[in-house]
Chains A and B, each alone.
Chain A
């Protein structure tokens, strides 16, 4: 599963860790995250992320 980087602030989503505070369990692939999810660091939506 790819990691994804936020191109606004540089936060990296690591599927192995998920984003528990944001309601995303560890082991969740980026594509499986709901569209309502936002970058936990700067608040932008998923469209601002790319695989890295």
Chain B
């Protein structure tokens, strides 16, 4: 059902088929959430990706004549939300596009046109009739141009990518699909999109914490209503943006002839015996976007690779480049692997891991060709380190 509150409608596009969002795997698709407020100055908040134009415009037409739109709020320049502003403007050429200065600069770069922009400052208010829209700048959550829109009369926060999830559904509310499912999608989204910006998220949470909100309306996925559900989401964002994590171990590795895999599985068994939550991911079979979701939750990370042509394996390099960009903090790690004759690739691997925000707590364990049983048993030293960290941190 499209109506969210009286005269406020969801007018977005359900992307049932999306499986890859610039490298982030989306097995359950996504949505681009556009919101229509049918007030005295009809307003559209964000639009959809280019191929969703027809559906979005049809949804708008079910409520109003698009020619009556007075404002298009562009909270974020990225093309999954700005992609169809132009299509809407064709129907309401005198409408103003409301955004930050950086938003306007970005939209002009993307679309090579100078629209009727209305630049808004942090905290600026816009009356659209019975309702007011208040804009809060949130730079680097997750681009420089980002802002969020708050409607005090409706207690609705249109948070754009913040609190978003990639999940396609007929249902619009997180409680309708199950909060655990929605939280899982929110965690993956945070890990892949927001993780480097903990400081900026903390700032935004501080500013938004003073507002009276009874519904969070992101630009992807499910909407959040009901105080308990919103608290669960907000407290997770608070925890993640403080770079706090759980006493869990993530093991991720790649392997050429299964030596490194043997080490990973021995580590798994030793951790199981110690009663420690462990997740094992083989980079040959696991998407980097799923690995990083586990990084978000895990305080200790064990990384293993074989050496190929003196370097770590290419899939490991890809994963660690991804990690370097997503910049975790307050996490600990140790490395392992196997080699034929040269170990210099491990130094590079260790540097990437450190650059990715994981503090290595000791030397890596690297064994030639295939480890012996005694050598595999030495991995209990890693488990001792992990226990120490979990008891003291």
Contact = CB atoms under 8 A, between A and B. Distances in A.
Q: Is the interface of A mostly helix, strand, loop or mixed?
A: loop
Which residue, B102, B144, B200, has most C-beta atoms of chain A within 10 A? B144
Contacts of B102: 8
A41 B197 CA distance: 7
Contacts of A42: 140, 144
Q: How large is the interface on B (under 10, 10 to 19, 20 to 34, 35 or more residues)?
A: under 10
Contacts, number: 15
Contacts of A10: 139-140
Contacts of A9: 139-140, 144, 200
A10 B122 CA distance: 12
**Interface magnitude class on chain A:** under 10
Nearest to B140: A9
Contact of A8 (B144, B197, B199): B144
Interface string A7-25: 0111000000000000000
A28 B102 CA distance: 30
A24 to B, nearest CB: 17
Contacts of B200: 9, 41
Contacts of A8: 102, 139, 144
Contacts of B144: 8-9, 42
Interface in B340-355: none
Interface of A: 8-10, 41-42
Interface of B: 102, 139-140, 144, 197, 199-200
7 contacts: A8-B139, A9-B144, A9-B200, A41-B140, A41-B199, A41-B200, A42-B144
